[in-house]
């Protein structure tokens, strides 16, 4: 989104403008309304604002010059040329800056995260199209969309996030989040398709996180799967996860520390 749109979104909230309806709201397709004028208009308005600031600066410099130096016609002509050179340069700059420079960095909102956890693929896709940086954005509790999609195993959302550049090893920063990454969330949920997607997009199968015991011991995804196989006897999902993880080099924490493999005991 262009910086001019962001600036005018704020302007549309000013009491006078909001009361008069001078800037009519236009939907952005994600449930939020804001004023979205043509790109050339927003940049032109910004250039006028910047030119006004430039005039104030040059006026101040002119007053200081008059105080420090005697008035001379030659200096006046130089000031005049300098003024219009700067104004023309600023106008060209703000009319030609690419959108990637004049970008919108507003934080991700709750509707986006609700779509992630709720498996609303089209909504997630729409938000990421307008805000690509949200692919690794976090909730107030420190979880990313890739974590939330793992609650119920929404494979289509997970795949779209990964294809869009989401970090498959992103950790939760929530104080009680056990440093968990998306792989661990999906292992606990028994979501085989999501685990496969994460591994194929670079998830580290041996990345440790904190266990759920009182002492919060460090564990790997394979440690968790082994425990779940014991606790959830007969659930084929966890047997499949064990096979999938081991085929991709997964180890337990004991094995990573140099201890014997479970099948050798």
Reply yes or no on whether the pLDDT at 119 is more than 70.
yes
**Mean pLDDT (whole number) for 196-202:** 96
Structure tokens, 13: 């909230």
What interhelical angle do 236-247 and 192-200 show, nearest 10? 10
pLDDT of residue 6: 47
Q: How are beta strands 33-34 and 209-210 bridged, if at all? A: unpaired
The CA distance from 263 to 255, in Å, is: 11
Q: For residue 251, what pLDDT band results from cuts at 50, 70 and 90?
A: very high
The CA distance from 255 to 157, in Å, is: 33
Reply yes or no on whether the pLDDT at 164 is more than 90.
yes
* Entry field: residues in the chain: 265
pLDDT of residue 15: 44
Residue with tokens 């005697």, as numbered in its chain: 70
Reply yes or no on whether the pLDDT at 21 is more than 80.
no
Instruction: Quick: pLDDT tens for 32-73.
Output: 334 444 555 656 666 667 667 767 776 676 666 665 555 555
Return phi, psi of residue 120, to 5°. Answer: -85, 85
Structure tokens, 65: 């010059």
**Mean pLDDT (whole number) for 241-254:** 94
What domains are defined for the chain? 3-96 (no CATH), 110-264 (1.25.40.20)
Query: What integer best gives the mean pLDDT of the chain?
Result: 76
What interhelical angle do 221-231 and 236-247 show, nearest 10? 160
Structure tokens, 224: 């968790």
Reply yes or no on whether the pLDDT at 199 is more than 70.
yes
Question: Taking the mean position of all CA atoms in its chain, how far away is CA 162?
Answer: 13
Q: Show Cβ contacts of residue 10 under 8 Å, excluding neighbours closer than 6 positions.
A: none
Looking at the chain, list the stretches that DSSP marks H as alpha helix, in order from N- to C-terminal side.
3-11, 15-20, 39-68, 73-96, 110-118, 121-130, 145-148, 155-163, 182-189, 192-200, 221-231, 236-247, 253-256
Structure tokens, 179: 């440093």
- Specify the DSSP class assigned to residue 177: S
Return phi, psi of residue 31, to 5°. Answer: 90, 0
The CA distance from 156 to 49, in Å, is: 45
3-state SS assignment for residue 235: coil
3-state SS assignment for residue 210: strand
């Amino acid at each position: 989104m262009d910086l001019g749109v962001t600036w005018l979104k704020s302007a549309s909230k000013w009491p006078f403008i909001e009361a008069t309806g001078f800037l009519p709201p236009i939907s952005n397709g994600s449930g939020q309304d804001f004023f979205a004028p043509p790109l050339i208009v927003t940049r032109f308005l910004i250039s006028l604002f910047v030119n006004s600031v430039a005039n104030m600066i040059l006026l101040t410099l002119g007053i200081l010059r008059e105080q420090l130096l005697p008035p001379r016609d030659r200096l006046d002509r130089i000031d005049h040329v300098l003024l219009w050179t700067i104004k023309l340069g600023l106008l060209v700059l703000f009319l030609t800056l690419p959108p990637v420079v004049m970008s919108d960095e507003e934080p991700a909102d709750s509707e986006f995260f609700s779509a992630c956890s709720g498996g609303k693929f089209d909504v997630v896709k729409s938000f990421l199209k307008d805000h690509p940086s949200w692919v690794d954005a976090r909730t107030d509790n420190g979880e990313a969309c890739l974590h939330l999609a793992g609650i119920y195993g929404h494979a289509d959302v997970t795949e779209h996030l990964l294809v869009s550049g989401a970090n498959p090893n992103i950790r939760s920063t929530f104080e009680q989040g056990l440093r968990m990454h998306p792989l661990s969330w999906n292992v606990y949920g028994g979501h085989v398709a999501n685990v496969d997607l994460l591994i194929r997009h670079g998830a580290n199968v041996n990345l440790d996180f904190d266990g759920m015991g009182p002492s919060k011991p460090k564990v790997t995804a394979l440690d968790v799967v082994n425990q779940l196989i014991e606790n959830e006897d007969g659930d084929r999902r966890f047997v499949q996860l064990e096979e999938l993880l081991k085929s991709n080099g997964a180890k337990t924490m004991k094995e990573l520390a140099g201890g014997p493999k479970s099948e050798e005991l």
